[in-house]
Amino acid sequence: MIVSASALRGDSTVKSKIALNFSRLIFLGFLLVAASTRAQTIGYRQTNLSSNLPDVANNVTPDLINPWGIAFLSGQPFFIANNKSGSVTSHDASGSSLGLPFFTVPDAAGTGLDNPTGIVADQNSFFGGPSLVRPFILVTEEGTILTWGPDANGNLPQHATPRRRRASAVYKGAAILNSGVTQPVVAVTDFHNGFIETFLPGFAGVALPGSFTDPNLPAGYAPFGIQVVGQIVVVTYALQDAAKHDPVIGPGNGIVSLFDTQGNFLERFATGGALNAPWGVTGLASANFGPFSSKILIGNFGDGTINAFDPVTGNFVGQLTDGDGVAIVESGLHALAFRSDGVGDPNTLYFSAGVNRGQGGLFGAITTGLVSITRIFAPTTPTDSSARITANVAAAPGNFGNPTGTVTFLDGSISLGTAPLVNGSAAVDAVLSGVRSHNIAASYTGDAVFLASSDNIAVPVTALPTMLNLVAPANAAPGSAVTLTATVNSMQGIPTGQIVFHDGNTSLGTAPLDGTGVATLRINTLSAGANSLTASYTGDDKFGASTSAAVTITIANADFSLGAAPISATVVAGQSTQFMVTVTPAGGFADNVTFSCAPITGITCTFSPAIVTPANGAASTTLTVTTSASVPRYGLLPFSLIGPAALLSALLLFALLLRHGASLPSGRASLLTATAVLAIAALSVTLAGCGGYGSTTNANRGTASVMVTAQSGAISHTSTVMVTVQ
């Protein structure tokens, strides 16, 4: 790790110098315990010092676009390499660039601008000369190394001077190495080719004893950022994209390794985990930097977070978070820097970031503060009604003092107002509109001591009550159009939206409310019988739902009645008489009706017409009843009754003869026997010759009931007329 026994291995001179320079750092590692005790009460706040975008920071610097490296000479302003604008802007600790140096970074042809990334200040003028005092060294993604600085007369050139270029290189970072053993060199990370190049003053290439090679580096990783921490060279690695020009961002896509200033690999500091295309690295944070005092801070280009690592063990400690415990995220994060030279606050972390995917820029500062706690309170309230929303702000447990300042209240993204803290409380009266759960937030802005904090709650905003009335006719014919009228009323206004009409559990349809809160629906599909109808209002963003009481509408069954006139008539036998038979529809009946009469001997019926259709009211047919002059009568003939009686008598006689014949004189018995035989024979002939059944014709006289039946499908009705035949 940065402060570890392995850093002391190697050349004895190097070993002694490393031991000398880092013995103090080992002691600072013990500040971990003290820092951890403050982790619950101290957080971090961000101040945007300058940006190219308006209304983002305290200052506007048009050329501050996608800033990368930050460098500075002792007691001098910050110099920031702006990748997108091909320039270097300088800023004081407040972020202002007024009256401060500015220069561009020309391309090799001198016709355009390169895209600078790393920048390093040559405090000792190792790479300067009589005409270049304490220069800045820049590298670009086009593979160019440039210098800039005042000349011997103190003049500040408008452009940096190209010193060396390799067309295949994509330079991402630079650092000056001064071990005291060899001549100073500048080390440059070539992300495209995957190695670190070193150059002597004058920018001639030089091979150091070590090659800055991590022996266990996974395939696809290349050196991305480089920073000197004491006598340790910290190199960050990122995963190359297909073009080997930019890093592949993603959780765990990062490695940090340690080398000595001769390029010898010392050890792996961090692998994966919280790393995500890391680039910016600080030395030990100040001893008054809150929970992460005396930690190594590494910034992720990939996700914009700033991660703290134990300098002794290399273990991940945590991320910088704000007063609410939310990670501070800087989109397009690049450089991180502390200063202890009297410019700015030594306990402030300065950073650069290419916001808006590198189309914008931000130079900012992160400082510590006491954590405050904000709690918001708001009641459930009807829509469009005023509600008192209150926020209480206090020091977090373990902190002392009373936060001051203001609290801003929001309903989602809509401002509800800002109120000052009075005795730790701020309140606004706000009208909440819209029936839903509102996300109401309170943001305390913080003060010089306490960090900003916030809180939010879900506040139910209820609908205004409504009452729904449904009107429908009590009766209707089958298939006839029925108008249903629903009216929604509220004391707070006129509701809008839809009405749904129901027949029991069946939806009949929907209709919109008009400007008076009335909706109508015309239907002709109600079934016969009693129908229980209701209407329901679904509500809108202001008014609540409601349902009407049920109303009953009776749809008559389709039917008809049958009548005849006259109901009786007298007719001479053999003549006819007529009746008018009338079908009267009911319940919308309009189907065909046929007629028939029950059969009666001597009487026939005919109907004209045979079928009627009472579509437009009652319909009639003429019943013609025709009588016969006479009617046949069927049964046994009168004379035929004698034969069976005589036969029976003869048989009885014969039986007597059989029984008593023995006691009679023979002559008399013979005579009787002969007589019986002759009688039986004569009767048999009579029966065989004349038969025993016959018919006669009589005059048609009397009164008959004629039943008339009217039939239509399953519906049937009858009517009776009386016919007297004379």
Would you state the pLDDT for residue 696?
63
What is the CATH class of 559-632+701-725?
A: mainly beta
Q: Dig out the tokens for 554 from the structure.
A: 């009776």
Partners of residue 386 on adjacent β-strands? 431
Q: Are 533 and 553 in contact (CB under 8 A)?
A: yes
Would you state the pLDDT for residue 693?
47
Does the domain at residues 372-462 carry the CATH identifier 2.60.40.150? Answer: yes
Would you state the pLDDT for residue 56?
97
Give the Cα separation of 196 and 184 in Å (integer).
15
Q: Dig out the tokens for 656 from the structure.
A: 């007597």
Is the per-residue pLDDT at 159 higher than 50? yes
Q: Are 383 and 463 in contact (CB under 8 A)?
A: yes
Q: Dig out the tokens for 15 from the structure.
A: 């070993």
Sheet of 619-627, strand order: 559-565, 576-586, 619-627, 603-608
Q: Other CB atoms closer than 10 Å to residue 196's CB: what's the count?
A: 24
What is the CB-side half-sphere exposure of residue 110 using CA atoms within 13 A? 4
Q: Are 232 and 249 in contact (CB under 8 A)?
A: no
The 3-state DSSP class for residue 112 equals coil
Give the Cα separation of 464 and 460 in Å (integer).
13
**DSSP, res 548:** P
Q: Dig out the tokens for 147 from the structure.
A: 């210098």
Partners of residue 715 on adjacent β-strands? 712
Percent of the chain with pLDDT over 70: 85
Q: Dig out the tokens for 63 from the structure.
A: 């050329």
**DSSP, res 454:** E
The 3-state DSSP class for residue 412 equals coil
Average pLDDT of the residues of the chain: 88
From 524, 519, 410, select the one nearest 456 (Cα to Cα): 410
Element counts in the chain: helices (H) and strands (E): 4, 52
Residue 558: which pLDDT band, with cuts at 50, 70 and 90? confident
Q: What is the pLDDT of residues 170-187, one digit of tens each?
A: 999 999 999 777 789 999
Percent of the chain with pLDDT over 90: 75
Give the Cα separation of 590 and 351 in Å (integer).
91
H or E stretch at 28 = helix 12-28
Is the per-residue pLDDT at 661 higher than 70? no
From 212, 215, 220, select the one nearest 239 (Cα to Cα): 220
Is the per-residue pLDDT at 680 higher than 60? no
H or E stretch at 102 = strand 102-104
Residue 42: which pLDDT band, with cuts at 50, 70 and 90? very high
Is the per-residue pLDDT at 14 higher than 70? no
Give the Cα separation of 604 and 354 in Å (integer).
110
- The arithmetic mean of pLDDT across residues 561-566, rounded, is 95
Question: Per the omega criterion (within 30 degrees of 0), is the bond before 609 cis?
Answer: yes
Give residues with Cβ within 8 angstroms of 671, minimum separation 6. Answer: none
Q: Phi and psi for 576 in degrees, rounded to 5?
A: -125, 160
Q: Do domains 5-370 and 372-462 have the same CATH topology?
A: no
The 3-state DSSP class for residue 178 equals coil
Q: What is the pLDDT of residues 248-269, one digit of tens each?
A: 999 999 999 999 999 999 999 9
Q: Other CB atoms closer than 10 Å to residue 226's CB: what's the count?
A: 24
Is the per-residue pLDDT at 584 higher than 60? yes
Would you state the pLDDT for residue 557?
83
From 323, 327, 379, 283, select the one nearest 24 (Cα to Cα): 283
Q: What is the pLDDT of residues 412-467, one digit of tens each?
A: 999 999 999 999 999 999 999 988 999 999 999 999 999 999 999 999 999 999 99
Partners of residue 124 on adjacent β-strands? none
Q: Dig out the tokens for 252 from the structure.
A: 């765990």
Would you state the pLDDT for residue 458?
97
Is the per-residue pLDDT at 631 higher than 70? yes
Is the per-residue pLDDT at 31 higher than 70? no
Task: Please report, for the chain, the start and end positions of each structural domain, with discontinuous segments joined by +.
Answer: 5-370, 372-462, 472-548, 559-632+701-725, 637-692
Residue 657: which pLDDT band, with cuts at 50, 70 and 90? low
Residue with tokens 């013979």: 670
From 568, 547, 447, select the one nearest 502 (Cα to Cα): 547
Work out whether strand 265-271 and strand 255-260 pair parallel, antiparallel, or are unpaired.
antiparallel
Would you state the pLDDT for residue 317?
97
| Environment class of 635 (CB within 10 Å of its CB; exposed 0-12, middle 13-18, buried 19+) | exposed
Give the Cα separation of 695 and 602 in Å (integer).
16
Q: What is the pLDDT of residues 588-610, one digit of tens each?
A: 788 999 999 999 999 999 999 99
Q: Are 278 and 233 in contact (CB under 8 A)?
A: no
Q: Phi and psi for 195 in degrees, rounded to 5?
A: -150, 175
Fold classification of 5-370 is Neuraminidase (2.120.10)
Q: Phi and psi for 382 in degrees, rounded to 5?
A: -70, 150
Q: Are 629 and 603 in contact (CB under 8 A)?
A: no
The 3-state DSSP class for residue 469 equals strand
Would you state the pLDDT for residue 190?
99
H or E stretch at 514 = none
CATH of 472-548 among 1.20.5, 2.60.40, 3.40.50, 3.30.70: 2.60.40
Q: Phi and psi for 33 in degrees, rounded to 5?
A: -65, -45
